[in-house]
Amino acid sequence: MSAALVTGVLVAAGVFLLLRPGQLRVVLGFVLLGHAVNVLLLAAGGLQRRTSALEGPAPDAADPLPQAFVLTAIVITFGITVHLLGLLRRDPAAPGPHADGPGGPGPSAGRPRGPGPDADSPRGPGSDADSPRGPGTGAPPAADGAPRTAAGGGPEPGPASRHDGTDAGTGGGRP
């Protein structure tokens, strides 16, 4: 009776936390559900000691099968919990200690910082609003004044053409 009650309380608390907003609460709810499964496996295996099926009376030893199931469930729950915590850490929407501290939003740990403000440009280094190619390019124009492609040279890619001078999309100019 007490194992069923503990399982019910753990499941209720786990489901409650899973349905609450906040990713850390979801992870904690998952952990509670994992513990509920462990208690359920032990309760389903029997809390009393049983005798062996093929032999006579067994010595005072517990049935190892429910314990093996619980050990496997613990390992699986731990692995999934670590994975969920890793996802929580990488989520840019999750508030962290740097989110809105006294100095305002700060840099994210482990993420590259963008360029800071520059004295020459109000938009910071890499600002190329005055560039002859326009904003967002960051590369100087080619020597002949022609715009460069993103790959660094040559004209922009156009429709596919074949080596024999015919257009690939028209069937080669045949009658």
Structure tokens at 106: 């700060």
Strand partners, 104: 101
Contact between residue 142 and residue 136 where contact means Cβ atoms under 8 Å apart: no
Does the pTM surpass 0.85? The reply is no
According to the model, what pLDDT value does residue 31 have?
A: 93
Beta carbons within 8 Å of 84's beta carbon, 6+ residues apart: 26, 27, 30
According to the model, what pLDDT value does residue 2 have?
A: 86
Beta carbons within 8 Å of 126's beta carbon, 6+ residues apart: 115, 138
* pLDDT tens for the 175 residues of the chain, in order: 688 899 999 999 999 999 998 888 999 999 999 999 999 988 887 766 656 666 666 566 667 788 888 899 999 999 999 999 998 888 777 665 544 445 545 555 555 555 555 455 555 555 555 555 555 555 555 566 655 555 555 555 556 555 555 555 555 555 5
According to the model, what pLDDT value does residue 34 have?
A: 93
